[in-house]
Amino acid sequence: MNNQKYLDSLKNKTLFLQGDEAAAYGALFAGCNFFAGYPITPASEIAELMSRELPKSGGYYIQMEDEIASIGAVIGAVWSGGKSMTATSGPGFSLMQENIGYACMTESPCVIVDVQRSGPSTGQATKGAQGDVLQARWGTHGDHEMIALSPWSSQESFDLMIEAFNLSEKYRNPVIFLLDGEVGHIREKVVFPDINELNIYQRNISLEKIDVFGGQRIPPMIEFGMGQRIHVTGSTHKSNGMRDVSSMEAHDTLIRRIYDKISSNRNEIAHFETHYIDNMDYLAVSYGAAARPTMGAVLKLRERGIKIGFLRLITIWPFPIDICTELGKRTKKIFVPEMNLGQVSREIERFVNCPVESVSKIGGISHTIDEITNYISANI
Amino acid sequence: MENKYVKYLRNETLPTEFCVGCGCGTVLNLFCHVIDEMQINPDDIITVTGIGCSSWIPSPYFSADTLHTTHGRAIAFATGVKVMKPGKHVIVIAGDGDLAGIGGNHLIHAARRNIGLTVFLVNNYIYGMTGGQVSPTTPSTVNTATTPYGNVEQPMQIAELVAAAGASYVARWTTYHVFHLKKAMKEAISKKGFSFIEICSQCPTSYGKRVGKREGIDQLLDFKENSMNIQNVSGMREDELEGKYIVGKLVERNRLEFVDGLLNINAQFAEGVR
Ligand SMILES: Cc1ncc(C[n+]2csc(CCOP(=O)(O)OP(=O)(O)O)c2C)c(N)n1
Ligand SMILES: [Mg+2]
């Protein structure tokens, strides 16, 4: 089967899928044809599904010797015409960081799924968490921007994975797909679309010899094997790709460009959902697994007459600053339920003038609706 | 008249930055000869490399598609390249620290997988680029920048290791044996499956001077005088082989190449066999 035939065979199907599996199918719909990974709970389901499905659609699955090799192979495949991805959890995500920076520096579009579990270190292997939010942003060294998305359901895991590939291709940047053990393992109804009705961003490739690493904010790519003898390096380079590790200008020009291409498009990349924000005294902000009980708590609090709105972040990085600033002006206090000790809450603090309170929970069990409801009632 | 082989180099990067007497120039020179004599179009080559002086042989000098990766990871990146471009010659050239030290595990597993890469490991017995620290192949007792009291470790027999891991082709030669090495490079590039040559090379700047061989020629003479062909060493004791370079072909065999294996599976779906 080729990719088109394979995707036609899945058209309009309704399945009962884990968030992990839905993410994998989303990748296949996005045209992913290369996966390299290494097993780890709670992300292994993605590798298992890809190993089963990719050969059917004409793609390739490789289990590498570790996560460093996995992300390396992913980037090698990108420059050889692949749409590629890997999936891991905290320990593997930590190992990948050097080469994630390489992907930023070489502007290699790819998707890295991190199904977050409790850390640091091996932590609670089988328990979900949201402790990698800041690592997704700052895990690799040096100045860089990052795109990270976080779904809250199986269906969104599917849909958002397509967006993850689209953004990575459009901005020529790695995209971190921040799942968590809860959403990754939840099992829910997912409806597949018709591939012909989907908006898939096709890689911008130049057939003529052009500068692949500069000259415009997001230059088109030239892939290996096109006879252009391109030079791809993670060292500081000129717009033609050749190393220049000594001039201040070369570094300044390159790094500011790869920074600005993301940050100046912040609002275009920012996906979020708002509820009850036109009539609120307080605001809850959450994302991923923690957003589910938060939504429940918001409904319950409103039933009790407490005017609270809800902002659910879908894009975590670049941080959706404008919506936070705007809503911050209209609320007395912001509550941020998250399964860590306050990572997004401290980011929000930077952009609002009202008090921001983290409603944190760690240990691998998600917040209950009552826990959040009671916490907020007691602290308004 | 312009040198016949200059067309294989990225002109704007010349002259090379290699030190006087460095073996990397010899390897680059031979590589150009090999590509020319094999009549391979450089457009059909993708070079992949790591970090270190030896990695500069393909990046930036050799004119082909080039992926200059992170330290130690060239083979991992090359794996993704070969899977997506099985029809191309995917050639990795890097150092002992890179391929055998930090990247040693990738080397072992690529050999085990028998993926169709050609790997030239330039073994100069030292971390050259960073200024002469001990490497996994530095002989015992040698004083380096980080073994000021002598190296207490045993060097790695890297060609033997790759052979044991399952590669299709393994050889070891030195930069003194230019004709043998050239022939071996051709064999390695032609061979289906994982092929590997350990190229013992001189580094007067960071290694030679630490072992009393200050000029490149001094190490070349050492290679000349102390090399033994692998066919002549069976039965010799370890102490008799001390300080010897065992050169020649260690392995040549046919095994299923990794990407062929993947393509076989995909073909079954294409034909509706599964
Ligand atoms: C992760 C990482 N660690 C360390 C370095 C620093 N470093 C650069 S080159 C090198 C050693 C190179 O030695 P080798 O691979 O033998 O190449 P040579 O320069 O001797 O040819 C090291 C340690 C690095 N670039 N990246
Ligand atoms: Mg070395």
Question: What string of DSSP letters covers B196-253?
Answer: EEEEE---TTTTGGGGT--SHHHHHHHHHHHEEEGGG-TT--HHHHTT-EEEEEEEE-
pLDDT, position B96: 98
When divided into structural domains, chain A yields a total of 2
Distance from CA of B102 to the nearest CA of A (A): 11
What is the distance in A from the centroid of ligand 1 to the CA of A60?
31
Would residue A25 count as lying in a domain? yes
Would residue B5 count as lying in a domain? no
Would residue A228 count as lying in a domain? no
Give the tens place of pLDDT for each residue, A22-44: 999 999 999 999 999 999 999 99
Domain boundary among A197, A222, A255: A197
Domain boundary among A197, A215, A242: A197
Instruction: Return d(Cα B24, Cα B98) in angstroms, integer.
Output: 15
Q: How confident is residue A1, by pLDDT bands cut at 50, 70 and 90?
A: low
Three-class DSSP labels, A324-353: HHHHHCCCCEEEEEECCCCCHHHHHHCCCC
Instruction: Return d(Cα B222, Cα A142) in angstroms, integer.
Output: 44
Instruction: Return d(Cα B53, Cα B33) in angstroms, integer.
Output: 21
Contact (CB<8Å) B73/A78: no
Q: How confident is residue A2, by pLDDT bands cut at 50, 70 and 90?
A: confident
| Ligand number, closest to the Cα atom of B145 | 1
B216 lines ligand 1 (CB under 6 A): no
Would residue A320 count as lying in a domain? yes
Would residue B184 count as lying in a domain? yes
Contact (CB<8Å) B66/A99: no
Would residue B8 count as lying in a domain? no
pLDDT > 60? residue B167? yes
- A48 with A179, same domain: the answer is yes
Would residue A268 count as lying in a domain? no
Contact (CB<8Å) A69/B76: yes
Question: What string of DSSP letters covers A227-261?
Answer: SS--EEESS-B-TTS-B--S-HHHHHHHHHHHHHH
- A190 with A296, same domain: the answer is no
Beta partners for A337?
A359
- A25 with A138, same domain: the answer is yes
In single-letter form, the type of residue at position B62 comes to: F
Query: Smallest Cβ distance to A233: which of B10, B59, B78?
Result: B59
Angle of helix B24-37 relative to helix B178-190, nearest 10 degrees?
A: 50
Would residue B247 count as lying in a domain? yes
Would residue B6 count as lying in a domain? no
Range of the domain at A346: 274-378
Q: Looking at this predicted complex, what is its ipTM? A: 0.97
Q: How confident is residue B272, by pLDDT bands cut at 50, 70 and 90?
A: confident
Interface contact A79, partner B, CB < 8 A = yes
Output the residue whose Cα is nearest ligand 1's atom 6. Answer: B130
Would residue B7 count as lying in a domain? no
Would residue A250 count as lying in a domain? no
Give the tens place of pLDDT for each residue, B18-41: 999 999 999 999 999 999 999 999
- Counting residues of chain A whose pLDDT is more than 70, the rounded percentage is 100
Whether the Cβ atoms of residue A311 and residue A323 lie closer than 8 Å to each other: yes
CATH number at residue A325: 3.40.50.920
Q: How confident is residue A115, by pLDDT bands cut at 50, 70 and 90?
A: very high
Burial readout A184-199 (b: 16 or more C-beta within 10 A, e: otherwise): bbbebebebbebeeee
- Mean pLDDT over B219-238 rounds to 96
When divided into structural domains, chain B yields a total of 1
B103 lines ligand 1 (CB under 6 A): no
pLDDT, position B1: 66
Would residue B104 count as lying in a domain? yes
The mean predicted confidence, pLDDT, of chain A is: 97
pLDDT, position B77: 99
Mutate to test the pocket of ligand 1, among B24, B75, B127, B158 (most ligand atoms within 8 A of CB): B127
Which residues 95-154 of chain A have a CB within 8 Å of chain B?
Answer: 98-99, 102
Give the tens place of pLDDT for each residue, A243-294: 999 999 999 999 999 999 999 999 999 999 999 999 999 999 999 999 999 9
CATH number at residue B149: 3.40.50.970
pLDDT, position A258: 98
Distance from CA of B192 to the nearest CA of A (A): 19
- A187 with A88, same domain: the answer is yes
Give the tens place of pLDDT for each residue, B96-150: 999 999 999 999 999 999 999 999 999 999 999 999 999 999 999 999 999 999 9
pLDDT > 90? residue B2? no
- CA-wise closest residue to B223 among B207, B239, B246, B241: B246
Domain boundary among A133, A162, A197: A197
Cis peptide before B204 (omega within 30 of 0): no
Give the tens place of pLDDT for each residue, A53-74: 999 999 999 999 999 999 999 9
- Mean pLDDT over B233-256 rounds to 95
What is the distance in A from the centroid of ligand 2 to the CA of B100?
10
Instruction: Return d(Cα A41, Cα A101) in angstroms, integer.
Output: 24
DSSP summary character for residue A196: G
Would residue A221 count as lying in a domain? no
- Counting residues of chain A whose pLDDT is more than 90, the rounded percentage is 99
Give the tens place of pLDDT for each residue, A131-170: 999 999 999 999 999 999 999 999 999 999 999 999 999 9
Would residue A191 count as lying in a domain? yes
- A145 with A46, same domain: the answer is yes
What is the distance in A from the centroid of ligand 2 to the CA of B53?
7
